[in-house]
Amino acid sequence: MGEAIADIMSSSLAAPWKVLAYGERHLVIDVDGGLRWLNETHVSHPFPISITNAVVIKNHLVATWVDHELRLARMAAISLDERFEQGPRRGDLRAQGNASPLQVAGATWSHTLDSEPVAMTCDEENVYFALWTRGIYALDVHANEKWRAEIPTYLTLQKRPRSDELLSLTSDEYLNVWSRGGGLVRLSKKNGELFDESDLDIQDHIVQVFKGNGHLLCSANGDIWWHLDETSLIAKIGEPVRDAVWD
């Protein structure tokens, strides 16, 4: 493990943002949107801005690229069985912003988004993602839309400041829609219809949700809750959790 960490930090890759497993290989994504395989040195930037959501489904990386300064967003699928390509320079995007025709280099498909993507998850067949104020969508790996649904209205009923913001999506038997204030809405993964909703009565804002055989809910103050059938506070570490891996 020490060698793997050293490898992530030693190359020209910027600070790592996320590491995703693909079979026996590991894809390292840096904070500037750079991609490379662990233990390799070549870094590619298929699009010259940061990646904000990323999942591996079948043999593809499906991700979103967002630049708030340029008011620009893309969503694309890149084959993990092909060599990554180098995309345009950031300066090439500046003149036209989101109206630029430039897309993610080497992508199987690449789309311009007119609203910010705020959350993403996947299962073996579909990618599920949410666009700010627009809705929740299900696509297959070929970008065929399966369904779309409105942001659950339950998330707007919570009274604590910003508690109605959609924070995260996770996938199990249902599509779980989490809000910052501890709201949980479960949707059918077949058609996006509401299954149930609940308020977990967490007296803090959630900033991270990690899924394993249950869910870890982490607050900005370092409080950690375990949620399965019920929700219970299991730790207070005093600092926010940045990442977690189930073993």
> In the structure, what pLDDT confidence band is assigned to residue 185 with cuts at 50, 70 and 90?
very high
Q: Are residues 107 and 221 in the same domain?
A: no
* pTM of this structure: 0.91
Are both 176 and 206 inside the same structural domain? Answer: yes
Judge if 169 and 216 occupy the same domain: yes
Q: What is the pLDDT of residue 247?
A: 74
b/e per residue 217-242 (b: at least 16 CB within 10 A): bbbeeebbbebeeebeeeeeeeeebe
Q: 94 and 5, same structural domain?
A: yes
> Among 96, 114, 132, which residue terminates a domain?
114
- Same domain, residue pair 110 and 134: no
CATH number at residue 209: 2.40.128.630
Residue numbers of the domain that contains 131: 115-247
DSSP assignment of 208-239 equals EEEESSSEEEEETTSEEEEESSSEEEEEE-SS
pLDDT band at 199; cut points 50, 70, 90:
confident
Tell how far CA 65 is from the center of its chain.
11
How many distinct helices (H) and strands (E) make up the chain? Answer: 2, 19
For the segment 79-105, the average pLDDT, to the nearest whole number, is 93
Q: 68 falls in which pLDDT band (50, 70, 90)? A: very high
Q: Which residue has tokens 């750079």?
A: 34
Looking at the fold, whether 106 and 7 belong to one and the same domain comes out as yes
| 31 and 107 belong to one structural domain | yes
Residue that is last in its domain, among 66, 95, 114: 114
pLDDT at 39 over 50: yes
What is the reported pLDDT for 10? 45
Q: Which of 114, 138, 155 is the last residue of a domain?
A: 114
Segment 19-36 mean pLDDT: 96
Question: For residue 146, what pLDDT band results from cuts at 50, 70 and 90?
Answer: very high
The answer on 182 and 161 residing in a single domain is yes
pLDDT at 162: 73
Residues 135 and 199 occupy one common structural domain: yes
3-state secondary structure of 154: helix
Least confident window among 87-96, 120-129, 186-195, 197-206: 197-206
> What integer pLDDT is reported at residue 156 of this predicted model?
62
Number of domains in the chain: 2
